[in-house]
A and B are shown apart, each in its own frame.
Chain A
Amino acid sequence: MRFGVVVFPGTWSDCDFHYVISEVLHQPVKYVWHRDRELADFDCLVLPGGFSYGDYLRAGAVAGRSPVVEALPAFVAGGGVVLGSCNGFQILCEAGLLPGALMRNECLQYRCQSTHLLVENAETVFTRATRPGQVLAMPISHGEGKYHVDAETLAALRRRNQIVFRYCTPEGQVTRAANPNGSLDNIAGVVNEEGTVLGLMPHPERAAESALGGTDGLVIFHSLLGSLVEDGSFLKR
C-alpha cells in the first residue's frame, strides 16, 4: 500500500508515522508537503499530529485551508482513504471533511497520557482487524481534543455508525473518569459518512512497537492493509 505522510509547518508526528510505515510495516511511504496537490501516487494519506501553523487562530484552522487539504476531497472521491491523528483530526474537522470541532480540553491541561479506546465500529477500512467492543490502548498528547457537535449531528453520527472510538476504562466501561478531555459522549474518533476518512485524537503511531509500551495502534494499519484489494481499491465495509 502506498502511503503519504503530510507535512505542514509545525507537524511533529510525521517522522513517527514514516518510521512505523516503513520500518515496522515495510510499506512504501513518502512525505507530502502541504503545498502539494498531486496525490495520485497514494492509496492512503496520513495527517499526523503536531501544531500546524502554530495552532494560530484555532487548532488546524490554517492547515485546513492549505493546498494539500483542498485536494483531499478529490483524492477521497477517487478511492483514496485519509487517516488524521491528533492535529490531523483537528485539520479534517476544520476543513469540513469530518463533522464536529475540537475545543480546548475541559480540564484546561495539556494531557499526555495513555488512554483506552472502545471500538464502536469494527466495519470500517480502519478497524476491520478489530472486533466490536474490543479495547485498544493508545496514548494521547493534546491540549485541544474535546470533541463537540450539536445534538442533531450527534444523533446522525450514532444513526450512521460514524463514531468509531470512545474513551473507556481498561475494562471497556465508558465513564466520565475515563474521558481525558471532556469530549462529548467520550468520542475519541469518527469517520465520514462513506467511512473513508478517519479522525482520532489518540496516536496509533506511538503504540506500534512493544518496546514503546504497546502495539494496539498497529491494528489500524493492519486493517487498512487487509482492506486494499488487488486492483488498488479498498473493500467497502
Chain B
Amino acid sequence: MRFRVLVRLKRGILDVQGAAVQRSLAGLGFGDVRELRIGKLVEVDVDEATPAAARARVDEMCRRLLANPILEDYTIEEIEGERLAAREPVR
C-alpha cells in the first residue's frame, strides 16, 4: 500500500525558506502571493495485510523519524492506483 506523507512546519513557526521564496516570486511579478510555506513530501510503499495496519505503520514512522514533533505536523494520505515517482535518473 502506498502513502503520501506531507510534513509541514507547525503554524506559528517562522518558515525562513518560504519567506525567501515568496520574496523571490514577488521579484518575478507575483506580488499577489499572500503566504508561502515549504514542506516535505515523503512517498512510502509498505507491505502490510490491511490498509489500517499499513496506515498505523506509516503513522509510527512519522512519529519516530519522518517528522520532528517539536517543529512539524504531518498528514498521511493513501495513494491508489498510482506509481511512486520513477527511480531511473532523468536524462
Interface residues of A (CB under 8 A from B): 57-58, 61-62, 65, 94, 100-101, 103-106, 108, 148-150, 182
Task: Show 28 A/B contacts (Cβ-Cβ < 8 Å), sorted by A.
Answer: A57-B65, A57-B66, A58-B68, A61-B65, A61-B68, A62-B65, A65-B65, A94-B68, A100-B70, A101-B68, A101-B70, A101-B71, A103-B13, A103-B71, A104-B16, A104-B17, A105-B16, A106-B14, A106-B16, A108-B16, A108-B17, A108-B20, A148-B13, A148-B70, A148-B71, A149-B70, A150-B70, A182-B16
Name the 3 nearest CB pairs between A and B, nearest first.
A101-B70, A101-B71, A108-B16
Interface residues of B (CB under 8 A from A): 13-14, 16-17, 20, 40, 64-66, 68, 70-71
Chain A: minimal CB distance from B75 (Å): 17
Chain B: CB-nearest residue to A99: B70
Chain B: minimal CB distance from A163 (Å): 17
Specify which of A65, A103, A104, A150 lies most central, judged by the most chain B CB atoms within 10 Å of its CB: A103
Chain A: CB-nearest residue to B19: A108
Cα distance A104–B38 when bound, in Å?
13
CB neighbours of B66 from chain A (8 A): 57
